[in-house]
Structure 1
Amino acid sequence: MTAIDRRTLISGALAGAALAPTLAPTLAQAQAVPLPPGFVRFPIWPGKAPGGDHVTVTEAETLRRPDGGPHDSLFTHVTTPTLTLVRPESVGAQPNGAAILLIPGGGYSRVALGHEGYTVARRFADAGYACYSLLYRLPADGWAAGPQAPLQDAQRALRLVRALAPREHYDANRVGVIGFSAGGHLAAWLTSRTPEQTYMPIDASDREPVKAAIAAYMYPVIQMEGAFVHQGSRTQLLGPTPSPEMMRAYSLDQNVSAQTPPVFMAHALDDKVVPPENSLAMLASLRATGIPTEAHLFESGGHGFGLIAPPAAPAPWPDLFLHFAKRHGL
């Protein structure tokens, strides 16, 4: 282990212990990609994640692109779900009393934690938010919960973010959720459906409700049936031959809850990976249910633009989101 890896692990472990004393503060293996300065990481489950008796995969972390930044982390075969926190104070910003849970994408086969986690977290920490980036388990890796394994992690993460509010000095009722691509599917699943119990409560954090103040779905995977489905996400989540009933159940434009928080969406019209019809279908369902919603359809930008503003955008989407968030009390 290099000196920088060792320092990263030690600082992350100490910070994790201070944040969540009920959780084991160390990770099972060294980080292949160092955390950005000021970021701390801790596991979301005490001990092992639930339902892993028959899981044989080995977690791996690499750079998303060889020519990318030094913190552009990409995970596959996640076995230790984590939250990575950056506080506003760590980037020289004044806290605003709110927090954001970020859920990166990756087609349910990997998690782009750097591109749609750390980078975005830094931007919103600059705006005063405590930002948590979620590394979640993937559904095809043999977990007992199958397609619900990512939802277990997302529910647990949101409860932890709420439970940590007194210690981190923000309001538990001012927590937003932002998801990207397949992470947008997970964010919509977490926030637009009536919460279901996906795991047995394990500590005091699980007394917190699965409730967000606002949500944002960025170029999201929404539909699991029809002409505009993202085949890769559906196969990873539901297998190669899902039944019509299963596809309908996991299509998030179906059965939007009246308790869904206000929703912000953004999608590029030239997205060839996840067609913008996914966002349009979700927009129609949110409007039909009476949910306050703001949607931006950019002329260009492709898929997975992350923090970068599409060329045709009137303003960087984080600025648009911040205006929306402030209108709704976040």
Structure 2
Amino acid sequence: MPLIDRRTLLAGTLASATLPSAGQGQGFPIPQGFERFPIWPGGKAPGGEKVVVQEVETLRTPQSAQDDTAFAHVVTPTLTLLRPARPNGAAILLIPGGGYTRVAIGKEGYAVARRFAEAGYSCFSLVYRMPADGWGAGAQAPLQDAQRALRLVRSLASRERFDANRVGVMGFSAGGHLAAWLTARTPQESYAPIDAADREPIRAAVAAYMYPVIQMDGPFVHAGSRTQLMGANPTSDQMRNLSLDQNVSAQTPPVFLAHALDDKAVPPENSLAMLAALRAQGVASECHLFDNGGHGFGLIPPPAAPAPWPDLFLAFAKRHGL
């Protein structure tokens, strides 16, 4: 497919931003102030010829508020944008978690976006495909979406009044694994370029891995994420390839890590292993270990969750130019 120019790309993005999300027909409108658009032209992600799953948006838990939702069996990957009232010239790509079975966009997308938009960041929350849903790229389907999303965010910098070289990436839980896959490994093309956005480099200014899934082998693995990525009987080579502490590039941007020591789902040893790997490569990094919070603490206020990690991240980000 021939490349199109940037003006055509942005016009298409603006037009598609008015499309309803997959969940809207189920009674989950996009929260006020947010804008959603597909990341792939026409909403069609690559390698979907054999995909038969149907995308669904539900409440994250039965007790969740109406904007605390999660997407499963994603067919149309999207970005949901929240613009800051007072832009600071930077943006953050948010990658929510969900064990590679769903994307918890309410807790780790909308809520976090509101917090960082208050600090001046244009915030883009990614809803990405699941690796076990039959996509041609298999385990790399979510990576394709993450690479495309980062490039698309960078391509929108002029329109949205931020610097393309001041884009951060923040991922949570399995989304932390995807964020590390996107930013900590030497970038490798996971799909064929399709338009002007794909001329953008796969590069972030700062990365944050929040209670991340990192290891794919050993006593601290999150077995659910591994199964979704590799099936029930992965080979040692498969596990090594996606154990991101074993694949850190010296070109990794500065990294912020946060984890609760009482996390029973994704042990904090995942963050510690990543910290050691970053230090071995000389990558600027900072890691906060909290005594409580469990897994997926998000923005739950103290004392139920750790100290205000967003303030710690903002200080780290500003020190490194984000």
Q: Same fold (TM over 0.5)?
A: yes
Match of residue 297, structure 1, among 280, 289, 293: 289
Trace 1:75-94 onto structure 2 (pairs within 5 A).
75-89=71-85, 94=86
Encode CA deviations 1:108-165: one digit per residue, 9 max, x unaligned.
Answer: 0011011100000000001000000000000000000000000000000000000000
Q: Do structure 1's residue 41 and structure 2's residue 36 form an aligned pair? A: yes
Match of residue 200, structure 1, among 192, 196, 200: 192
2:13 partner amino acid = A
After the TM superposition, which of the residue ranges 189-198 and 30-39 deviates more from structure 2? 30-39
2:165 partner amino acid = N
Count the aligned residue pairs: 311
After the TM superposition, which of the residue ranges 151-160 and 62-71 deviates more from structure 2? 62-71
SS of corresponding position for 1:88:
coil
Equivalent position of 1:57 in the other structure: 53
Asked if 2 retains the 8 angstrom alpha-carbon contact of 1:101 and 1:134, the reply is yes
1:162 partner amino acid = R
Q: Which runs of 5+ in 1 are unaligned?
A: 1-15
Trace 1:227-238 onto structure 2 (pairs within 5 A).
227-238=219-230
In the superposition, the TM-score normalised over structure 2's length comes to: 0.93
After the TM superposition, which of the residue ranges 17-26 and 145-154 deviates more from structure 2? 17-26
Asked if 2 retains the 8 angstrom alpha-carbon contact of 1:17 and 1:25, the reply is no
SS of corresponding position for 2:80:
strand
Equivalent position of 1:26 in the other structure: 19
Rounded Cα–Cα distance in structure 2 between residues aligned with 1:197 and 1:67: 41
Asked if 1 retains the 8 angstrom alpha-carbon contact of 2:70 and 2:102, the reply is yes
Trace 1:1-330 onto structure 2 (pairs within 5 A).
20-21=13-14, 26-27=19-20, 29=22, 31=24, 32=26, 33-47=28-42, 48-89=44-85, 94-309=86-301, 311=303, 315-330=307-322
Encode CA deviations 1:15-47: one digit per residue, 9 max, x unaligned.
Answer: x97682585852574513121110000000012
Rounded Cα–Cα distance in structure 2 between residues aligned with 1:104 and 1:28: 17
Asked if 1 retains the 8 angstrom alpha-carbon contact of 2:23 and 2:56, the reply is no
SS of corresponding position for 1:67:
coil
Rounded Cα–Cα distance in structure 1 between residues aligned with 2:253 and 2:149: 18
Taking a change above 3 Å as real, the CA distance of residues 328 and 265 of structure 1, as seen in their structure-2 partners, is: same
Post-superposition shift, 1:68? 1.5
Rounded Cα–Cα distance in structure 2 between residues aligned with 1:18 and 1:197: 25
Encode CA deviations 1:271-300: one digit per residue, 9 max, x unaligned.
Answer: 000000000000000001000001000001
Rounded Cα–Cα distance in structure 1 between residues aligned with 2:74 and 2:306: 37
SS of corresponding position for 2:58:
strand
Rounded Cα–Cα distance in structure 2 between residues aligned with 1:196 and 1:305: 32
Rounded Cα–Cα distance in structure 2 between residues aligned with 1:24 and 1:74: 20
2:234 partner amino acid = P
Post-superposition shift, 1:255? 2.1
2:78 partner amino acid = T
Encode CA deviations 1:48-69: one digit per residue, 9 max, x unaligned.
Answer: 1000000000000011122222
Rounded Cα–Cα distance in structure 2 between residues aligned with 1:258 and 1:227: 27
1:270 partner amino acid = D
Encode CA deviations 1:189-240: one digit per residue, 9 max, x unaligned.
Answer: 0000000110000000000000000000000000001110000000001110
Asked if 1 retains the 8 angstrom alpha-carbon contact of 2:297 and 2:305, the reply is no
Encode CA deviations 1:67-93: one digit per residue, 9 max, x unaligned.
Answer: 22220111100000000000002xxxx
Q: What is the alpha-carbon root mean square deviation over aligned residues?
A: 1.7
Taking a change above 3 Å as real, the CA distance of residues 28 and 290 of structure 1, as seen in their structure-2 partners, is: closer
Taking a change above 3 Å as real, the CA distance of residues 163 and 316 of structure 1, as seen in their structure-2 partners, is: same
Rounded Cα–Cα distance in structure 1 between residues aligned with 2:76 and 2:125: 14
Rounded Cα–Cα distance in structure 1 between residues aligned with 2:183 and 2:231: 24
2:38 partner amino acid = P
Rounded Cα–Cα distance in structure 2 between residues aligned with 1:284 and 1:178: 19
Q: Which runs of 5+ in 2 are unaligned?
A: 1-8
Rounded Cα–Cα distance in structure 2 between residues aligned with 1:136 and 1:184: 13
Asked if 1 retains the 8 angstrom alpha-carbon contact of 2:35 and 2:81, the reply is yes
Rounded Cα–Cα distance in structure 1 between residues aligned with 2:17 and 2:256: 35
Taking a change above 3 Å as real, the CA distance of residues 300 and 231 of structure 1, as seen in their structure-2 partners, is: same
Rounded Cα–Cα distance in structure 2 between residues aligned with 1:312 and 1:58: 36
